[in-house]
């Protein structure tokens, strides 16, 4: 079954973006996944197609209106029999951090509906009423949810069955086993006086795997000690 991604956004022209190239682009052409965009502004009813308003209680910025966004979400559900079973993800800096484990869960499903926030935020009532899962790609703020949505889709699409030529490529990577990935080397044997570690050219596969695991643990301890908690 084709993995179906539906994006609710104020800037549909931002898609598929970089996903039109390389592995994801080829997979899109082959029909291994599909991408549809929906303009949230199409569900506004006034002549100015207004989708935002000032925040209740005052403050800076504007807030995406709940009634407009709810209509857009409901339209996806009404026009797509798969929509009720697809997670509804709201890209948000306050969301739960995206992990490789969650990426694998999404890739194993039928697809996703992704809502791209803009302005100061989204009215909490539509988040609650439409059971939106808030997802963050990092502890920083972007101008909108579109780049985050593309990042999430990139992570998911690349591990869909048949997208990567080598099935092992998706399993020998950072986070797949709870560790950062080990260092990589390739020819030439010597680069500016730095040699490839001898173990990697020894032909001893057991020793190579041991070295890679040790290096992965070392890097993880240095850069992401939080990943080692409980291990």
- Report whether 113 contacts 83 (CB < 8 A): yes
88, HSE (Cβ side, Cα atoms, 13 Å): 19
Q: Pinpoint the residues of the chain covered by CATH 1.10.1270.20.
A: 172-230
Report the pLDDT value the prediction gives residue 1, as an integer from 0 to 100. 81
Is 172-230 a CATH 3.40.50.300 domain?
no
pTM: 0.90
Q: Which two tokens stand for residue 196?
A: 């490839």
Residue 61 DSSP class: S
User: What Rg, from alpha-carbon coordinates, does the chain have?
Assistant: 21
Superfamily in which the 3-159 domain is placed by CATH: SPOUT methyltransferase, trefoil knot domain (3.40.1280.10)
Q: Pinpoint the residues of the chain covered by CATH 3.40.1280.10.
A: 3-159
Cα gap 144→137, rounded to integer Å:
12
Cα gap 129→144, rounded to integer Å:
22
- Per DSSP bridges, beta strands 194-195 and 33-39 are unpaired
What is the three-class DSSP state of 59?
coil
Average pLDDT value for residue range 55-60: 94
Report the pLDDT value the prediction gives residue 166, as an integer from 0 to 100. 58
- Report whether 38 contacts 12 (CB < 8 A): yes
Q: Show binding-site residues for S-adenosyl-L-methionine.
A: 117, 137-142
- Report whether 8 contacts 72 (CB < 8 A): yes
Residues 8-55: tens digit of each pLDDT:
999 999 999 999 999 999 999 999 999 999 999 999 999 999 999 999
Report the pLDDT value the prediction gives residue 171, as an integer from 0 to 100. 58
Q: Show binding-site residues.
A: 117, 137-142
């Amino acid at each position: 079954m084709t993995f179906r991604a539906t994006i609710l956004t104020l800037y549909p022209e931002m898609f598929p973006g970089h996903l039109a190239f390389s592995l994801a682009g080829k997979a899109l052409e082959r029909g291994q996944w599909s991408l549809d965009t929906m303009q949230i502004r199409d569900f506004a009813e006034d002549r100015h197609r207004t989708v935002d308003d000032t925040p209740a209680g005052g403050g800076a910025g504007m807030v995406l209106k709940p009634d407009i966004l709810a209509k857009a979400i409901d339209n996806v559900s009404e026009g797509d029999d798969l929509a009720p079973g697809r997670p509804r993800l709201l890209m948000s800096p306050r969301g739960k951090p995206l992990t490789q484990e969650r990426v694998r869960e999404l890739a194993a499903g039928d697809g996703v509906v992704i809502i791209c926030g803009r302005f100061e935020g989204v009215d909490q009532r539509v988040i609650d009423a439409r059971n939106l899962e808030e997802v963050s790609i990092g502890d920083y703020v972007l101008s909108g949810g579109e780049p985050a949505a593309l990042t999430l889709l990139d992570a998911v699409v690349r591990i869909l069955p048949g997208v990567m030529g080598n099935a092992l490529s998706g399993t020998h990577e950072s986070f797949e086993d709870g560790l950062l990935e080990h260092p990589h080397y390739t020819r030439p044997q010597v680069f500016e006086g730095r040699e490839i570690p001898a173990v990697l050219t020894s032909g001893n596969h057991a020793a190579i795997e041991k070295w890679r695991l040790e290096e992965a643990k070392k890097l993880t301890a240095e850069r992401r000690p939080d990943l080692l908690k409980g291990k």
